[in-house]
Structure 1
Amino acid sequence: MFSKRSISFSVLSVLFSSFVSSSCVWNTLDGNPSKLVGHRGEKAFMPEHSLGSYHMAAFESADYIEPDVVVTKDQVLVVLHNEWLSDTTNVASIPKFADRKRSFTFVGNYTTINRTDYFVFDFTYAELQEINQVQVTTYPYRPQYFNNDFSIMSVETYFDKIANLTTIFNRTFGVIPELKSPELFNYLHPSANGRWFEDTLLSIMEKRGMFVNQPPARAPLTGEGDLVDGVLNIKPLNYQAPNYIRAAIQSFDPETCKYASSKTNIPIVWLDSATPEWYTPAGLDDIAKYSKIFSPWKDLMLAGPKAFFDISKVPYNQTKIDSMGGFLEPKEFVAACHKRGIELSPYTFYDSRQNNLLLCSTSNDTRLTWCPKNRKEELQYFFDIGSDYLFVENIFEAQMVRLAHDYKVRYGIDY
């Protein structure tokens, strides 16, 4: 039974919502709710980058479903997070591949590997089909039921899978491949222009029609209740299917970002873990020449660049930083990105049972004045500052917090 108080509250909420101005919008560049990117699909429940992981992300209504891209010995682009296999496959338990384990060292400007492992570039694509993807055992609550069900897929299979999911779910899922370690794979597969890896992915995407009508026009502001409708795939009467395939390309290699931007109008995601120069006005001016989406490690948008670099002992030249306009603190950094037409896409927001890996959770530095106590507070902060995209795991949790935040934005009611 509902109490009179709860009934009254519900009535007041409805009455209040009818007077809410359409100007109540999110702090994102286009005013729409932040988009959720399924990080490696849905790795909280399924082996990452597996067909099951991507299907699960679709069930949870992710806006984008992410693959990492590496290359086999026989030059097939495949979906795998690392250049090695031991972390997320059963390769070590297969006797016929025991002799593939070796030490390998590579040092580039943006890629460094010094490891003994089973490396993907020592296997043909056919051999990878004999290896199963497995869920990591670090987190005991993650299901281990699917460890014999999936093998490493090619990028072509990934694109087929997302196209198929788009059809069977009757909703759009974006593709957002990340080129892992381009320096390494261009070294292993030399070409005349030194960009074999980038050119191969771009060619595949172009042949699949992903260059058509790019970049798309900005989406109109969503109306009242549209976020809930979107999650539940309730389409408005005037719905028109997109006339383009929602796509983006990512890389931590800025030279790859620059090259890809010269070959396509697909949005380029400029990934960064800790490069001090990018967090200045002049740094953003440079990024804006090549990329319309900037993706920093999330703590740079919470601790702030200076505190983050100091506490993490990341070296920088203060004179150079000052000459570039100085470090931009989080909220002014978001505003500066949006002023330049750059969307912000912090990473990675983990399952609520995991450590959030924020400095404020481990450091007593007095500059870290606020620390989210849980995943709800963490996500609310990043929604509030205007993050345009978020790379998330356990998409279901992120959906709930996003819906609650949308209700707060539109109706002023906090959960």
Structure 2
Amino acid sequence: MAVSLLPRLVLAATVVTVAGLAVLPPAAGAPGNRGGVARPGAERQPLVIGHRGASGHRPEHTLAAYELAARMGADYIEPDLVATKDGVLVARHENEISGTTDVAERPEFADRKTTKTIDGVEVTGWFTEDFTLAELKTLRAKERLPQLRPDNTRYDGRYEVPTFQEVIDLTRRLSRELDRDIGIYPETKHPSYFSSIGLPLESPLVRTLTRNGLNHKNAKVFVQSFEVSNLKALEKAVRVPLVQLVWTDGQPYDFTEAGDERTYADMVTREGLAEIATYADGVGPEKTMVISWNDDGSLGAPTDLVPDAHDAGLVVHPYTFRAENVFLPSDYRSSDDPAEHGDLAGELRTYYDLGVDGVFTDFPDIGVAARDD
């Protein structure tokens, strides 16, 4: 979910591209009345979203991580979506995959290592768009944060890179088995970049949702993005809620490409939130945009983001809540050891008490326990 630290009808018609962005056929009844989201102020518990699955317990974006999140009580699981060379949507946090798979150890793919510019940043490694799905399926996932989560490395080499369809199939099986609906909360990663190389994410996303009977207002689905133009395109093509992700600095990359000077900070003003509400149903802020941190790293005062977003008719789903001390405010840490777990439950209860509508967490077991306590 977080920004990398180096945010209705079957599509029988042909997708065209305008200014690098796939333009989708309109959904039946669009625009308006995307469903599946409780409006702010509704009496319901905040959602617990398994961030990349239960990624505090298993390597992220694997079927094992997603399944564990559901079994721990998560309401939704979150697959980040990127494209393969043959246009299949797969779940990876980034299209550069050396940190989350064993591709660097595969001599048969040594010549695929390259340097690209992704959203204005030069990145060296191996990229999903240079592999067919069949080739990606030969790779195995590994823990992205082995220094902080050494226990997860015991699962290195066990799991494939899953397709979006496989994630949907998993949620259906688990929904039957657990006798409750498990939702999906996909994020489109680097949508402008993928459109620029002829692999737009929006059309296969809508096709997959529609094919699986998930493109309707009661489907347990949210779609999220750090960019704006692709959400505006999706607003005309889907009936599920859309969420605008925002980050602590910078701006959406499609704004950068268009020469639009607005920043994420501008987007979370009252005026900016009112604009988001014209095409989306929620906002997904980094957690310190909801409650700031003091200079000493302790939890500070709430900002106006939650009440302002609610006034605009938007739900608020902040990210990312993690148990390791390095990710916690100083007053919730258990020691100076960055990998040791602190009081994540206490931090979450503070956000729940503030009125957020959901949280993204690597530890859905703690998220559920803190909510239900």
Q: Deviations over 1:69-126 (max 9, x none)?
A: 00011111111111111111111111111111111124xxxx3331110111111100
The alignment's TM-score, normalised by the length of structure 2, stands at 0.77
| Residue of structure 2 equivalent to 1:318 | none
1:91 corresponds to 2:103 = yes
| Residue of structure 2 equivalent to 1:379 | 348
AA matched with 1:382? Y
| Residue of structure 2 equivalent to 1:208 | 212
1:145 corresponds to 2:154 = yes
How far 1:331 sits from its partner (Å)?
5.4
Q: Deviations over 1:227-251 (max 9, x none)?
A: xxxxxxxxxxxxxxxxx43011010
1:247 corresponds to 2:221 = yes
Structure with higher helix content: 1
Q: Which gives a bigger RCO, structure 1 or 2 (Cα 8 Å, sep 6+)?
A: 2
How far 1:361 sits from its partner (Å)?
9.1
1:33 corresponds to 2:45 = yes
How far 1:353 sits from its partner (Å)?
2.6
Gap change, CA 1:289 and 1:140, over 3 Å in 2: closer
The alignment's TM-score, normalised by the length of structure 1, stands at 0.70
Asked if 2 retains the 8 angstrom alpha-carbon contact of 1:103 and 1:115, the reply is yes
Where 2:271 maps in the other structure, the secondary structure is helix
> 1:297-312, aligned counterparts within 5 Å?
297-303=286-292
Structure 2: tracts of 5 or more residues without a match: 1-38, 249-263, 334-341
* Cα distance in 1 between the residues matched to 2:269 and 2:330: 21
> 1:11-410, aligned counterparts within 5 Å?
29-106=41-118, 111-136=119-144, 137-189=146-198, 196-212=200-216, 214=217, 244-274=218-248, 275-303=264-292, 330=302, 332-350=304-322, 352-356=323-327, 374-404=343-373
How far 1:279 sits from its partner (Å)?
2.1
* Cα distance in 2 between the residues matched to 1:56 and 1:105: 35
* Cα distance in 2 between the residues matched to 1:140 and 1:297: 22
* Cα distance in 2 between the residues matched to 1:284 and 1:151: 39
Where 1:303 maps in the other structure, the secondary structure is strand
Percent of pairs identical after alignment?
Answer: 29
Gap change, CA 1:386 and 1:353, over 3 Å in 2: same
Structure with higher strand content: 2
Asked if 1 retains the 8 angstrom alpha-carbon contact of 2:50 and 2:76, the reply is yes
Q: Aligned residues, how many? A: 307
Structure 1: tracts of 5 or more residues without a match: 1-26, 191-195, 215-243, 312-328, 363-372, 405-415
AA matched with 2:129? F
* Cα distance in 1 between the residues matched to 2:80 and 2:329: 24
AA matched with 1:68? D
Where 2:171 maps in the other structure, the secondary structure is helix
AA matched with 2:203? D
Where 1:74 maps in the other structure, the secondary structure is coil
Larger Rg: 1
Asked if 1 retains the 8 angstrom alpha-carbon contact of 2:206 and 2:215, the reply is no
* Cα distance in 1 between the residues matched to 2:352 and 2:110: 47
Asked if 2 retains the 8 angstrom alpha-carbon contact of 1:303 and 1:359, the reply is no
Q: Deviations over 1:264-300 (max 9, x none)?
A: 2210011011311122111111011011110011101
